[in-house]
Chains A and B, each alone.
Chain A
Amino acid sequence: MHPSPPWERMESMTPSDASGDDLGPTLVAVARGDGDAFARLYRQTSARLFGICVRMLPQRSDAEDVLQDIYVTIWNRASTYDTTQPNPIGWLIAIARSKAIDRLRTHKRDRRNTPLDDTTPLVDETPSVADLAETSDDRRRLDSCLATLEDRQRAAIRQAFMDGSTHNELAERWAVPLGTMKSWIRRGLAQLKACLER
């Protein structure tokens, strides 16, 4: 028996997305083995989750394989979803990112040679279109706390989240010592948490 992955134990997700509103009942139906509900879930969420895969995985075929794996996992594990959670889309995003990161790690050597493109700026990510779009309370709170970090801490955390890069890869790309990168990210995360809990 494998240890159950941590996303099965999520207890305190907060809402991050309007599209999570009616996914809860759909997930419950998927857990019962309802194929139509599964198709509905796929239709409602696959573009968002595939966006995450495409962003993290340079090879389109990898992104497609991982998306398949994500939905097979959702189908198999829907019964472990805690229906009292307010944020089903957050649960799905956590599964998607975790799968994409695992795939990334298996292609680590290839990735190291991937040239930087203009979607991964070195200093800071330009606020994306969704900065405008996401006006949920959680998003606003996260943004205001991110704004309290030093620029390089904020940029490193954002880039790590978007690309799933390791400490090592980030340090190489930014041409800073590994210890420096680790400490930026650790301090940034610690400050972020302290701010969010205030």
Chain B
Amino acid sequence: MNTIPPSQSPADLLAAEYVLGVLDADTRRAVERRAAREPELATAIAAWQGRLAPLAGDIAPVEPPRHVWERVLSATNTRPSLGGVRLNDRGGFLDSLAFWRWIGGGALVAAACLLVVLLQSGRPATPAPSGYMVSTITAADGQSGYVATVDLANARVVLVPIAANASSGRVPELWMIAPGEKPLSLGVVAADRPTTISLSPSLVKKMGPDDLLAVSLEPPGGSPTGQPTGPVVAKGQISGT
């Protein structure tokens, strides 16, 4: 227990510490210079990146603000065509409609009407970032679901399952849907215990009583596309307290 196993060469240990991120700036630069000359060290670094990468799955995704993408475009002098550049803007209308059809289930017409109403109503007044908002996210059968409390002051949402939410091999993912916009992932949540999700300040500012929260079932690790890919099992509107 107290000895370092023989498989750990000094170079491999250095690679491990480099990838883990515990080295200071000077040592990091030195490791990178060495790795450029020593294939063995470079290979060890790659191997450690592979070993530790799954830990990043514990970090909740956060939607970056749009201006970052604009700065990336400008810095790389890239000009994607219109189809490629759209991110979370209203250009996502068709995707959004598809999603609404989906969560509408059989009630296609009702969902489409609701969408029209939401699009016409425009953005709700922006609430001050204080206080709480709640949402009961329920399944069609009313037997399962979650209660979400949005804590505006601390920029977080706490999601509490109110009944067993069984999901064979799939995991629940929480989405916020502002009227007329694409669903925005708030992250993967637990089916059997409370989950706290941090919200970006820009998201907190945006969040309003006309927004919906929805839970879909996604592959392990969350939706691979950034949009819901599995069935929506529960949804509910946000309301102030």
Contacts and interface: CB of A to CB of B under 8 A. Distances in A.
A31 interface: no
Contacts, number: 271
A132 B171 CA distance: 8
Contacts of A160: 20-22
A189 B17 contact: yes
A162 interface: yes
Interface residues of B, number: 86
Interface in A142-197: 142, 150, 157-158, 160-162, 164-168, 170, 185-187, 189-194, 196-197
A197 B56 CA distance: 20
Contacts of A108: 24-25
Interface in A20-60: 21-22, 35-40, 42-44, 46-48, 50-52, 54-55, 60
A111 interface: no
B210 to A, nearest CB: 23
A51 B59 CA distance: 6
B115 interface: no
B189 interface: yes
Contacts of B24: 105, 108, 166, 168
Given A22-B224, A133-B222, A72 B76 contact: yes
Contacts of A38: 76, 78, 80, 84
A90 B80 contact: no
A12 B32 contact: no
B200 A72 contact: no
Residue among A18, A129, A135, A187 having the largest count of chain B Cβ atoms under 10 Å: A129
Interface in B11-51: 12-13, 16-25, 28, 31-33, 35-37, 39, 41-43, 45-47, 49-51
A16 B201 CA distance: 29
9 contacts: A11-B43, A13-B50, A13-B53, A16-B56, A47-B226, A67-B68, A68-B68, A139-B220, A168-B24
Interface of A: 3-7, 9-14, 16-19, 21-22, 35-40, 42-44, 46-48, 50-52, 54-55, 60, 64, 67-68, 71-72, 75-76, 87, 89-90, 93-94, 97, 101-102, 105-106, 108, 119, 125, 128-136, 138-139, 142, 150, 157-158, 160-162, 164-168, 170, 185-187, 189-194, 196-197
Given A39-B87, A68-B68, A136-B220, 16 more contacts: A3-B33, A3-B35, A3-B37, A6-B42, A9-B43, A19-B221, A39-B85, A93-B53, A129-B190, A134-B57, A134-B220, A136-B54, A139-B57, A186-B17, A189-B16, A190-B5
Interface of B: 1-2, 4-5, 7-8, 12-13, 16-25, 28, 31-33, 35-37, 39, 41-43, 45-47, 49-65, 67-69, 71-72, 75-76, 78-81, 83-87, 169, 171, 185, 187-192, 195, 198, 200-201, 219-226
Nearest 4 CB-CB pairings of A with B: A3-B36, A36-B84, A39-B84, A47-B61
